[in-house]
């Protein structure tokens, strides 16, 4: 009995095992097929996720933030003027902005080629040294960004319209228009063809008081110079004064409020200097590569006179007088942004050729806006030559913190007595403005006469007379 039961149990277990194996073998292909279908999707998700993450990391790491340049110790801030805008492509070392300080303009070049993706400060804002200015996406080539395309005027040509469908062509066409009117500009937008000033009202009659005539204020587009001409339009334009102009105004007013300024005059017979230039100009140019001008004789004569009159080279500092044992002469140079005064160092040891070469170098740097702050710092005496503009006479203002300034003027023919006889001679008027708190009238007149003598006859300098 027990033997038969054991055989029955064994048969049951064997049959159950065979059924389980059959079921497992039938399920395995189905699971494998489903796994094979899902594997490409899982792999694709892995690839896309990795690729997207990798690309975003590259974009974030590629955008660089460009800092502003360092300023000299005497400069704390400046006004920025953007030369490029967001979306513009720039090459390496291409100018992106200029920072206008009290003394000079500092350039902001691109550190490498790329596209500007963000400006971190507004145009005209004050910036400090090494402040973060803009963000750059490095890369070669590339044109305007899509944002630039969106900013085009509405009058830009639109793409050609698609061909009409049969239902559209069967409808009657509208009557043709002889001359369609141009699209109107948006509010506040100035068409490119329009002049930068508003249309003036009708000309007032001569009996109308000037103060009663209405004046229109005009908003001038960026980049337009409102000061180049006066058209007679009854309008006015306000523009922000640059930092250099404001600094000049402040320094001149400070000089007027601080110094006891007095001016003395004299005149120079330029015959000898003009004759010397005519005689030796070719040899001078051949040897030194620069022309002998009018400035070098005056600069050298001023250095000679300053050595003979040290008080004119000195400065009053509260309760002390500071005497300088060197002669650094500031030379006024006119630029479109204002007057700058680069400095010639140790003029007492320079000759005409050295002075002319240094003046030429500083003049080029001034015209190109390349003067550094170090080129204009210091100075113990200033020379201003208004004669290049045809000035006949004038009283210059002292350049703080110096104590005197020499004003040169134009050369004009005048009748003067020579050995008891009237002769026509080329005469230049010169003026010396000085700080009367420090320099007495006798010293000022003596100093100016030494300049006159050294220009008219340079031999007195060589003989130390």
Which pair of structure tokens corresponds to residue 70?
Answer: 């360092």
> Does the pLDDT at position 241 exceed 50?
yes
Give Cα 438 distance to the centre of its chain: 38
pLDDT band at residue 12 under the 50/70/90 scheme: low
Burial of 116 (0-12, 13-18, 19+ CB in 10 A): buried
pLDDT of amino acid 307: 95
pLDDT of amino acid 224: 59
pLDDT of amino acid 327: 97
Residue from 265, 271, 186, 253 nearest 431 by CA: 265
Alpha-carbon separation of residue 451 from 200, 330, 383 (angstroms)? 54, 16, 12
Q: Residue ranges per domain, the chain? A: 64-145, 245-462
The SS3 of residue 162 is coil
Q: Regarding predicted confidence, which is higher, 404 or 334?
A: 404
pLDDT of amino acid 318: 87
| CATH code for the domain defined by 245-462 | 3.30.559.10
Angle formed by the axes of helices 441-456 and 295-308, nearest 10°: 140
pTM for the model stands at 0.60
Cis peptide before 401 (omega within 30 of 0): yes
Angle among Cα 344, 345, 348 to the nearest 5 degrees reads 100
Mean pLDDT, the chain, integer? 77
CATH top class, domain 64-145 = mainly beta
pLDDT digits (tens, 9 = 90+) for 258-315: 999 999 999 999 999 999 999 999 999 999 999 999 999 999 999 999 999 999 999 9
Contact 111, 136 (CB under 8 A): yes
Beta bridge partners of 216: 235
Report the catalytic residues. 436, 440
> Does the pLDDT at position 60 exceed 70?
no
Gap between the Cα atoms of 36 and 57, Å rounded: 32
pLDDT band at residue 172 under the 50/70/90 scheme: very low
């Amino acid at each position: 009995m027990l033997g038969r039961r054991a055989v029955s149990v064994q048969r049951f277990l064997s049959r159950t095992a065979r059924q389980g194996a059959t079921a497992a073998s039938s399920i395995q292909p189905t699971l494998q097929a489903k796994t094979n279908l899902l594997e490409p999707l899982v792999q694709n998700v892995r690839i896309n996720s990795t690729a997207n993450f990798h690309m975003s990391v590259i974009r974030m790491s590629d955008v660089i933030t460009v800092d502003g340049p360092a300023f000299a110790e005497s400069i704390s801030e400046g006004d920025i003027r953007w030369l490029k805008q967001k979306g513009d492509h720039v090459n390496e070392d291409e100018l992106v902005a200029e920072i206008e300080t009290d003394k000079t303009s500092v350039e902001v070049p691109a550190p490498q080629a790329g596209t500007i993706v963000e400006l971190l400060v507004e145009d005209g804002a004050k910036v400090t040294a090494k402040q973060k200015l803009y963000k750059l996406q490095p890369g070669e080539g590339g044109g305007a960004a899509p944002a630039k395309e969106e900013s085009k005027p509405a009058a830009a040509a639109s793409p050609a319209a698609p061909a009409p469908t049969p239902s559209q062509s069967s409808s009657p066409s509208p009557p043709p228009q002889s001359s369609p009117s141009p699209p109107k500009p948006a509010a506040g937008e100035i068409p490119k063809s329009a002049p930068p000033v508003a249309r003036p009202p009708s000309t007032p009659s001569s009996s109308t008081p000037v103060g009663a005539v209405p004046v229109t204020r005009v908003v001038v587009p960026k980049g337009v110079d409102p000061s180049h001409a006066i058209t007679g339009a009854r309008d006015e334009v306000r523009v922000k004064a640059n930092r250099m102009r404001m600094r000049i105004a402040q320094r001149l007013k400070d000089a007027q409020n601080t110094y006891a300024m007095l001016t003395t005059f004299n005149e120079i017979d330029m015959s000898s200097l003009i004759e010397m230039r005519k005689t030796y100009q070719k040899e001078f140019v051949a040897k030194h590569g620069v022309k002998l001008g009018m400035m070098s004789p005056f600069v050298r004569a001023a250095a000679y006179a300053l050595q003979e009159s040290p008080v004119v080279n000195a400065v009053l500092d509260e309760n002390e007088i500071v005497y300088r044992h060197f002669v650094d002469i500031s030379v006024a140079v006119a630029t479109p942004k204002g007057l700058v005064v680069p400095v010639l160092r140790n003029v007492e040891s320079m000759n005409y050729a050295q002075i002319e070469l240094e003046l030429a170098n500083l003049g080029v740097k001034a015209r190109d806006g390349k003067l550094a702050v170090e080129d204009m710092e210091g100075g113990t005496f200033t020379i201003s030559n208004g004669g290049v503009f045809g000035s006949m006479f004038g009283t210059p203002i002292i350049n703080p913190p110096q104590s005197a300034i020499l004003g040169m003027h134009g050369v004009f023919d005048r009748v003067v007595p020579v050995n008891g006889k009237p002769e026509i001679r080329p005469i230049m008027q010169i003026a010396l403005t000085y700080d009367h708190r420090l320099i007495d009238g006798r010293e000022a007149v003596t100093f100016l006469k030494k300049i006159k003598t050294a220009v008219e006859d340079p031999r007195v300098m060589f003989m130390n007379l």
